[in-house]
Structure formats: C-alpha cells, structure tokens
Amino acid sequence: MTQTSDNVTWLTQAAYDQLKAELEHLSGPARLEISRKIEAAREEGDLRENGGYHAAKEEQGKQELRIRQLTQLLENAKVGETPPDDGVVEPGMVVTIAFDGDADDTLTFLLASREYASSDIETYSPQSPLGQGVNGKKVGDEADYELPNGNLAMVKILEAKPYQG
C-alpha cells in the first residue's frame, strides 16, 4: 500500500520488498536477456527491415522506463506500518462507500497507489477524484467528488479497515 505526498511514497514493508525484487530482476536477468535478443537480431543482418530487432529495442525501452520509475519510487519511499484501525480513511485502507446514501449501491475498494494495485480488490489512488474526496474522512461521514462530466457525486463512508492482503 502506498501514499504519495510531495514526492514521498509511503510503502508497507511487503510492498517495498515486492517492488525492490521487481527492480532487481529487471536490472539484472531481464536486462541481460533483452541484450541477448538485440544481439541475436543484429546478427540477422539489415536492421532497417528487421522486425525482431525493432521489437527487442522497443521492449528494451519499456523495460528501461520501468527501471527508472521503480528506482525513483524506491528512492523516495518511506517504509512504514499498516495504518491504524481507527475508522479514518487513509491510504492503505479498504473503504466501503454508499453512493448518494443508498445502502444498496455500494463500492468497496483499496485506497492506495496504482503501483500496489492487485487483482484481489479494486484500487483507487489517493490522487483520484474519489480518493481525494474520501481521504481523511471517518466512518459515517459524507464526502463529495467530481465526476468526469463535471457533476458532483455524494458518497457516505460505511467502513474503513486496514488492508490485510
């Protein structure tokens, strides 16, 4: 789980370890593998019409971008604990909201950086309109946020519990 504020990203130890392992893989074995692919494609001859070469170079560019992103993220990371179970919505919490106060129209999501999105639960960034609207609110509070069409939506915070995944 992460919380971003002024270029500092808060991470749990588990999230930090996961991202660091990805960086180490991309910087080591994956970098060697892409270099081998490029070299093998180079040996095939004319680079202007070599699809394998161009695909490998594109893959290398994407990989290097991810390495830079992870390096920057981890350099600015602050490792901390899971937020307290105090009913206050903050990054690292699983939040359940009701739209327009309708207890049947609810959404449960993890308020966290997209870097830590998982397939187990929908994730909303603290910087998203919904994330900004609910961040800092308490269970029972109402919050509004701006929809893509410019209208405001009202939600009620039903539950906020620390993420245990």
pLDDT recorded at residue 115: 65
Categorize the per-residue pLDDT at 111 as very low, low, confident or very high, splitting at 50, 70 and 90. Answer: confident
Domain ranges for the chain: 2-80, 93-162
Q: Record the tokens describing residue 12, joined without a space.
A: 């749990």
Amino acid identity, position 116: Y
pLDDT recorded at residue 156: 94
What does the alpha-carbon distance between residue 96 and residue 109 come to, in Å, rounded to a whole number? 7
The CATH code of the domain at 93-162 is: 3.10.50.30
Burial (Cβ within 10 Å: 0-12, 13-18, ≥19) of residue 63? middle
pLDDT recorded at residue 76: 79
What average pLDDT does the chain have? Answer: 85
What does the alpha-carbon distance between residue 117 and residue 123 come to, in Å, rounded to a whole number? 6
In tens, the pLDDT along 30-85 reads 999 999 999 988 888 777 778 888 899 999 999 999 999 999 888 877 776 677 78
Q: Which fold has domain 2-80?
A: Helix Hairpins (1.10.287)
Count of positions (residues) in the chain: 165
What does the alpha-carbon distance between residue 22 and residue 112 come to, in Å, rounded to a whole number? 19
Say what the pTM is: 0.59
